Chains A and B, each alone.
Chain A
């Protein structure tokens, strides 16, 4: 049965959309990532307008992060205070991102903005992950997880210091706000939650204890993607609620299957697979930018 998407203004088969949500949900459950960076390009390849794909994916990530955040909350592994500080930066970032998005759309450079951000970010993150997982696979003896280092000295010396009890940190609020801001911008222009940027930033820059990283990042992702959804809806009218419902329904089921499949694979293998997947998406988008398109002309109707 075909369903009509009122905002994307096109007909799609409901099984295809449900299946896409399920496949992305499966991968996000398997790898423990939000999956926005895969869903947005997939929707664009399928023919959904880029602005609708980006905005609708935000609401999908809100939904898929809820169950993870609830599980972490029960484990008391969420630093609400630090999460709120980062989310404050994130709200400013997502506002800036939506504004940039609207301006680029007016100049017809929105596709370029979305594609090139993806190529740069996914290329970098995928390359780093590939490098790291290959090194981990080579050193299979393992077991020696690096000890947690003390907070970096410069962060204590910046103004506006604050105590974050759950993270056992006393640092200036400036670094977390800036990280939140950067991820907020990414969220708005790429339709991603930004977990693959926040988590390394929390571990390597803020030096948070790893047990609160997952819960805190999910908490801040929910707030930022919820804000992105509302801002995209008001600034660009580009959130398609029908598309979102089908993606979320597929995603919820797919994620559960993915988690179960993931339990049978080793961490390093998973990371290697994820790195290859990320690089493949980056390469596909890169080719779209450098190969001569079949038709040089494009048409937008106001």
Chain B
């Protein structure tokens, strides 16, 4: 609590000689996926402190979903049909990745800084890669797929400045986002050097009936399967009864 008060105080006071820093927050820290969830936007907002310092300020906001192991397969033409042949396993890839920046990512900082902080889709790499083949085409295919699913995105110019110091980023959260703990990282670059970074957690949960059904299916699959069958039998029986009366 004290820390929040302090952060707000710092944000408002904009002290003249404070450490160069960045403050940020989220419009909501939890997303609940319910039955009528069709996607939403979360707003990441923040402020650059100590604006007196000269130089070009660049902000990059990176949102990462919980890591997941993914398998990418490549179809090949075998005996007249297209069949999955070569495959690669990419360990601990972000299940969701979205980066917004003031300018194109590659121009805001040196490539080794961008690589070590995994800023930009070009720098999203797996923790481990298992395949007999060249990894790059598989990694690119994965990024392409996730982009078309709306789960990966890179938006240069996606950081919108309201005043010289205050900025905001609109973060799309489509209905297909994986559940879990997300990390929202805000990076401040000045004249190409990474000055400050701040990390905020974001939680995406399934809520309500869907959550309970998902847990039911995974925690007690036998009872779930029997329930599905009983429901099918009951609906089929009910249907035939209803329509028999009408005839």
A residues apposed to B, CB below 8 Å: 1-4, 6-7, 9-11, 59-60, 62-67, 70-71, 108-109, 111-112, 116, 222, 226, 229-234, 237, 239, 241-242, 244-245, 248-249, 252-253, 255-256, 289-293, 295-302
Q: Mark B49-86, 1 if CB is under 8 A from A, else 0.
A: 00000000000000000001111111111001111100
Query: Across the interface, which residues of A come within 8 angstroms of B225, CB to CB?
Result: 229-234, 239
Are B70 and A302 interface neighbours, CB within 8 A? yes
Any A CB within 8 A of the CB of B240: yes
The 13 sampled A-B contact pairs (Cβ below 8 Å) are A2-B36, A6-B210, A6-B217, A59-B228, A60-B232, A67-B237, A67-B243, A232-B225, A234-B225, A245-B231, A296-B75, A297-B145, A298-B73
Kindly provide the distance from the CB of B134 to the nearest chain A CB, expressed in whole angstroms.
13
**Hey, which chain B residues are within 8 Å of A249, CB to CB?**
235
Residue in B34, B214, B240 whose beta carbon sits within 8 Å of that of A70 in the complex? B240
B188 part of interface (Cβ distance < 8 Å): no
A300–B71 touching, CB < 8 Å: yes
Assuming A6-B214, A9-B176, A290-B82, is B236 touching A299 (CB within 8 A)? no
How far in angstroms is the closest Cβ of chain A from B184?
Answer: 21
CA distance A7 to B69 in the complex (A): 19
- CB <8 Å contact, B35 and A244: no
Interface flag for B15 (CB, 8 Å) = no
Partner of B175, one of A4, A108, A111: A4
What 0/1 pattern do residues 135 to 156 of B give for CB contact below 8 A with A? 0011001101110000000000
Let me know if A297 and B74 touch, CB within 8 A. yes
Q: Write out the residue numbers on chain A whose beta carbons fall within 8 Å of the beta carbon of B178.
A: 301
Contact yes or no, A67 B240, CB < 8 A: yes
Secondary structure of the B contact surface, majority rule:
helix
Using CB atoms, name the residue of chain A closest to B226: A230
By a beta-carbon cutoff of 8 Å, the part of chain B in contact with chain A is: 33-38, 68-77, 80-84, 87, 95, 137-138, 141-142, 144-146, 175-176, 178, 206, 209-211, 213-214, 217-218, 221-222, 224-229, 231-233, 235-240, 243
Kindly list chain B residues whose C-beta atoms are within 8 Å of the C-beta of A296. 74-76, 82
Contact B224 A289 (CB under 8 A): no
C-alpha gap A301/B68 in the complex (Å): 7
Which residues from chain B contact A7 at a C-beta distance below 8 Å?
Answer: 213-214, 217
In the bound assembly, the distance between CA atoms of A242 and B231 in angstroms comes to 11
Given the known A-B contacts A293-B75, A298-B84, are A67 and B69 also in contact in the complex, defined by CB atoms under 8 Å?
A: no
Cβ-defined contact, B222 with A234, below 8 A? yes
Contact A226 B229 (CB under 8 A): yes
Per the bound structure, the CA–CA distance linking A117 and B108 in Å amounts to 53
Known: A241-B224, A298-B84, A301-B68. A248 touches B235 (CB 8 A): yes
Using A226-B229, A302-B70 as known contacts, say yes or no to A63 and B235 having CB atoms under 8 A apart. Answer: yes
Known: A229-B228, A299-B71, A300-B71. A6 touches B235 (CB 8 A): no
By a CB distance below 8 angstroms, the chain A residues around B141 are 295, 297, 299
**Residues of chain B with a CB closer than 8 A to A63's CB:** 232-233, 235-236, 239
Do residues A297 and B73 form an inter-chain contact, with CB atoms below 8 A? yes
List the B residue with the shortest CB-CB distance to A66: B236
Of A2, A245, A297, the contact of B235 (CB 8 Å cutoff): A245
Determine whether the beta carbon of B38 is less than 8 Å from that of A2. Answer: yes
A65 touches B210 (CB 8 A): no
Q: Which residue of A lies closest to B227 (CB)?
A: A241
Max chain B C-beta neighbours (<10 A), residue from A64, A239, A256, A299: A299
Do the beta carbons of B228 and A233 come within 8 Å of each other?
A: yes
**Known contacts A109-B84, A234-B221, A239-B224; A302 and B232 CB within 8 A of each other:** no
CB distance from B137 to the nearest CB of A (A): 8
A232 / chain B contacts, CB cutoff of 8 Å = 225
| A302 CB to nearest B CB, Å | 4
- The residue that B37 contacts in the complex, of A4, A109, A289, A292, with Cβ under 8 A, is A4
A289 touches B145 (CB 8 A): no
A101 nearest CB across to chain B (Å): 15
Report yes or no: B74 in contact with A4, Cβ–Cβ below 8 A. no
Which residue, of B144, B145, B225, B237, has the highest number of chain A Cβ atoms within 10 A? B225
**Contact B175 A244, beta carbon cutoff 8 Å:** no
A244 to B217, CA, bound (A): 14
The answer for the CA separation of A232 and B237 in the assembled complex, in Å, is 23
Q: Which of B138, B176, B240 contacts A11 (CB 8 A)?
A: B176
- Asked if residues A302 and B71 are in contact (CB atoms below 8 Å), the reply is yes
User: In the assembled complex, which residues on chain A have CB atoms less than 8 Å from the CB atom of B211?
Assistant: 6
Which residues of B lie under 8 Å from residue A67 when comparing CB positions? 236-237, 239-240, 243
**C-alpha spacing A183/B63, complex, angstroms:** 49
Query: Which chain A residues lie closer than 8 Å to B75 at the CB level?
Result: 293, 296-298
Instruction: Say which residue of A10, A289, A301 sits within 8 Å of B82 (CB atoms).
Output: A289
Contact A11 B37 (CB under 8 A): yes
Cβ-defined contact, A239 with B213, below 8 A: no
Q: Which residues of B sit under 8 angstroms from A245, Cβ to Cβ?
A: 231, 235
